[in-house]
């Protein structure tokens, strides 16, 4: 059976992942699979034995100590089946894991200094139009990486206020549809057809509704946020953890903010962490190791990361995290 299938597996939770998938679709065609971080391994397991799979792109899906070895083994199985693999990411990856990935002849496009969409555009711009540069600029803004060399160069090509508006509309639309996978795939379709976010049906209304939700979070953070010596924290019950975490950081005066939400059916807390510009430690590396030690998983960037922590260990996570920030 001839292998002809092209698949992109990308992050579903933010504009960087959705935009990366859209540019891969524009450049190479094929199908899109959108997953969260915990869903990556299950998706690769499903693809491992796909006899039609020829080309695989993996975008904006960072690794942690708890899954990096499994990731390498799955890539090994896919390469054994002669699948061409390109892994594009901007999260922290251990040098030893990078060497193993490269040894499998997987094309690794990786830097922590540019968001994933910017790296996708930069690698494949001969296959993309100026719209690809615009989408890269939007992703850079939403990932707080518009001051990086390549991202900044894309932003300078367009009116800044226009990019900020479109990036916000896209982000709010994505975050408000996390439980609607079909809609997220529709977004990829529309963006890959070079539609601006405001041109996609109802996105301004989705953004307005999400803005209302976010504005309602502010007072709840003020009322329920708690503080330790080195961080502030809050359990979230009626919104996503990532929606509240920047307010927990900003309103507390601390250098690190943590928000977390219980996923009862899985017995875990989804945790979001943010650091102020003055924070000198690499939060993603600390969270990666700590979450693994507690039977969860996590990691990310120096000032923005996340984790999955077993329900009964969230208090211990906060205590140990606080102590490691001294």
Beta-ladder partners of 89: 110
State the Cα–Cα distance between residues 45 and 22, nearest whole angstrom.
23
Among 210, 208, 207, smallest CA distance to 197 is for 207
Q: List where CATH 3.90.1640.30 sits in the chain.
A: 5-201
> Which CATH class name applies to 217-324?
alpha beta
Fold topology of 5-201: inorganic pyrophosphatase (n-terminal core) (3.90.1640)
Residue 124 contacts residue 27 (beta carbons within 8 Å): yes
Place of tokens 């989408």: 135
pTM over 0.85: yes
Q: Residue 231: which of 218, 248, 215, 244 has the closest Cα?
A: 248
**Residue 119 near residue 111 (C-beta atoms within 8 A):** yes
Q: How far is CA 147 from CA 151, 155, 206, in A?
A: 7, 9, 28
What span, in angstroms and rounded, lies between the C-alpha atoms of 72 and 85? Answer: 12
Contact of 256 with 275, CB cutoff 8 Å: yes
Q: Which residues of the chain register pLDDT less than 50?
A: none
Question: Any alpha helices (H) in 29-90, and if so which ranges?
Answer: 40-48, 68-80
Residues of the chain with CATH 3.10.310.30: 217-324
């Amino acid at each position: 059976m001839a292998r002809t299938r092209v698949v992109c597996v990308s992050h579903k939770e933010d504009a960087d992942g959705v935009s990366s998938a859209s540019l891969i679709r524009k450049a190479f065609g094929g199908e899109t699979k959108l997953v969260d971080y915990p869903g990556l391994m299950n998706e690769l397991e499903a693809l491992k034995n796909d006899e039609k799979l020829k080309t695989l792109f993996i975008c904006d899906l960072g690794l942690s100590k708890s899954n990096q070895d499994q990731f390498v083994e799955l890539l090994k199985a896919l390469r054994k089946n002669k699948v061409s693999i390109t892994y594009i990411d901007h999260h922290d990856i251990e040098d030893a894991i990078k060497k193993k990935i490269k040894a499998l002849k997987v094309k690794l496009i990786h830097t922590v200094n540019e968001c994933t969409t910017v790296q996708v555009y930069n690698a494949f711009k001969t296959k993309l139009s100026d719209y690809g540069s615009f989408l890269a600029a939007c992703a850079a803004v939403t990932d707080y990486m518009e001051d990086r060399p390549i991202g900044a160069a894309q932003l300078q090509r367009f009116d800044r206020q226009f990019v900020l508006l479109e990036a916000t509309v896209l982000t709010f639309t994505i975050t408000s549809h996390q439980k609607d996978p079909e809609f997220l795939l529709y977004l990829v379709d529309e963006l890959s057809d070079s539609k601006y976010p405001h041109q996609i049906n109802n996105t301004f209304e989705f953004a307005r509704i999400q803005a209302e939700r976010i504005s309602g979070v502010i007072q709840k953070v003020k009322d329920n946020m708690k503080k330790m010596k080195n961080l502030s924290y809050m359990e979230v019950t009626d919104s996503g953890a990532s929606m509240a975490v920047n307010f927990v950081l900003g309103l507390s005066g601390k250098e690190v903010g943590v928000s977390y939400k219980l996923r009862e059916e899985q017995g875990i807390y989804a945790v979001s962490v943010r650091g102020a510009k003055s924070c000198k430690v690499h939060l993603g590396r600390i969270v990666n190791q700590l979450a693994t030690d507690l039977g969860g998983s996590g990691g990310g960037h120096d000032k923005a990361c996340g984790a999955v922590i077993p329900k009964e260990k969230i208090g211990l996570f906060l205590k140990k995290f606080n102590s490691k920030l001294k």
